[in-house]
Amino acid sequence: MVEKIPRHVAIILDGNGRWAKQRGLPRMFGHRRGAQTLVKSIRFIRESGVKYLSLFCFSTENWQRPAEEVQGLMGIFASHIRRLVKEAVKSNTRVHWLGRPDGLPATVVEQLINLVRKTSENDQFHLALAINYSGRDEIIRSVGRLAASPCNFDWRNLQWEDLVKCMDTVNLPDVDLLIRTSGECRLSNFMLLQSAYAELFFTSVLWPDFSQAIFHDALQFYEGRERRFGTIGQ
């Protein structure tokens, strides 16, 4: 039994396309199976005692993929966001959207805004969906918000806390455990500043095959880590 549960878990959902290719199927089959895995994973991660869960669903760089694949992904987002509203309300889950609206279909933007609004008073569990998001883009937008703030800001005394107030993740704590599937060992521009002291767990399992057992492995890995935050360990 795992006793040390991370407060904030972030996951880079990777490997849908490769999962489909290994089976001789179109990439969209992998994305659809990945969406099913996502629904199940949210439930068992919430039940584990984790308070915050952030999911990298669609990067600003993903627009470079074939138009047909991007269109299919937008359709998956639209259908699952509609379903998520009811479940989020029922489970007292507050949903956060990380990313920019530019380029997203109007229906997806409206659904995300509605989902965030309808769950804004919930506090049992926090789910952050990174859709049309990248860490560098978030930093640029955050600096822009800070520069446009009405208060007289002294840039010479800029503090991390000042920037945090302008970030998409303003209502989220820093990441404790970051998980990436598919065997890739990089952050791919996801929550770069928020993961400064996160423990990184990489698994070769492709996202559609992610399971409660793999998540338990990640929790055991986290429990065995000594988090020093720049200090000297015991």
Catalytic residue list:
14, 62
Q: 182-209 burial, b for 16+ CB within 10 Å, e for fewer?
A: beeeebebbbebbbeebbbbbbebbbbb
Q: How far apart are CA 7 and CA 23, in angstroms?
A: 36
CB contact set of 216 (below 8 Å; sequence gap of 6+)? 2
Q: Which two tokens stand for residue 50?
A: 């984790």
Chain CA centroid to CA 30, Å: 19
With beta carbons less than 8 A apart as the criterion, state whether 15 and 181 touch.
Answer: yes
Q: Any idea what DSSP says for residue 174? A: P
